Copies of this chain bind each other. A is one copy, B any other.
Amino acid sequence: MNVLAIGAHPDDIEYGCGGMLIKYAERGHAVYMFVASDGALGGDGAERRREQHDSALIIGAREVFWGEYRDTELPLNRDLIVRIETVIREVQPRMILVHNPDDTHQDHRNLAQAAMSATRYVPNFLFYEGPTTQNFAPNCATDIEKVLDKKLACLEAHRSQVAKTNIEDLSILELAVSSANFRGIQARVKYAEAFQSVRLLLNL
């Protein structure tokens, strides 16, 4: 199965669904990533692209597509939809993972809306969460206990971002572990990533 994860900035995808992608890649599925902006307001753009590619290597993703939008300026219009549609045509994914549309970051909101339109006929469509997500109501999850270290390695690959959590003395790694544990207990496992499915085909 081809899987496409969509995120606004480098490291958004890994935080939200890195463990899921690692599991997909380990099982032989083809994982692709679309990153809409190089996140140049949160660090040097070129550096963040390198970090994103280092992380994609750890995940085992086949390719990172870049949206070339400017950080904080993802447009809520047809242009972004068309950009994603181009990737959809190339990748032919059966599963889409994207930001939850209720989020305090406008780029996350706009990308979720655009992805909802562009991937209208893809049968599996899930929202993932991040530190700025609001009102997230997960209804499914995946056990990431065995791939947690690898997920953390991905987040560490985004070296310029590890300490940027807006909370003093709190690294993105600590937060990712807490989140995995919090969602784990809800899923009756130790560590999990949680999702809100819009469409999900149960293939048994």
Whether a CB of chain B sits under 8 angstroms from the CB of A199 is yes
Question: How far is A156 from B203 in the complex, measured between Cα atoms in Å?
Answer: 26
Question: How far is A122 from B81 in the complex, measured between Cα atoms in Å?
Answer: 31
Closest B residue, CB atoms, query A167? B190
Question: How far is A114 from B24 in the complex, measured between Cα atoms in Å?
Answer: 36
Partner-binding segment picked from A4-12, A53-61, A178-186: A178-186
Please indicate the chain B residues that have their CB under 8 angstroms from the CB of A174 in the complex.
181
Question: How far is A110 from B174 in the complex, measured between Cα atoms in Å?
Answer: 35
Please indicate the chain B residues that have their CB under 8 angstroms from the CB of A76 in the complex.
76-77
Whether a CB of chain B sits under 8 angstroms from the CB of A137 is yes
Whether a CB of chain B sits under 8 angstroms from the CB of A32 is no
**A175 and B167: CB pair below 8 A?**
no
Please indicate the chain B residues that have their CB under 8 angstroms from the CB of A75 in the complex.
77
Whether a CB of chain B sits under 8 angstroms from the CB of A169 is yes
Whether a CB of chain B sits under 8 angstroms from the CB of A83 is no
Whether a CB of chain B sits under 8 angstroms from the CB of A160 is no
Whether a CB of chain B sits under 8 angstroms from the CB of A106 is yes
**A165 and B141: CB pair below 8 A?**
no
Please indicate the chain B residues that have their CB under 8 angstroms from the CB of A29 in the complex.
204
**A189 and B204: CB pair below 8 A?**
no
Question: How far is A43 from B174 in the complex, measured between Cα atoms in Å?
Answer: 33
The 6 closest A-B pairs by CB, nearest first: A178-B181, A140-B200, A182-B182, A178-B178, A104-B120, A142-B202
A contact set with B: CB distance below 8 Å: 20, 23-24, 27, 29, 72-73, 75-78, 81, 104-106, 109, 113-114, 116-117, 120-123, 131-132, 134-135, 137, 139-143, 165-170, 174-175, 177-179, 181-182, 184-190, 195-204
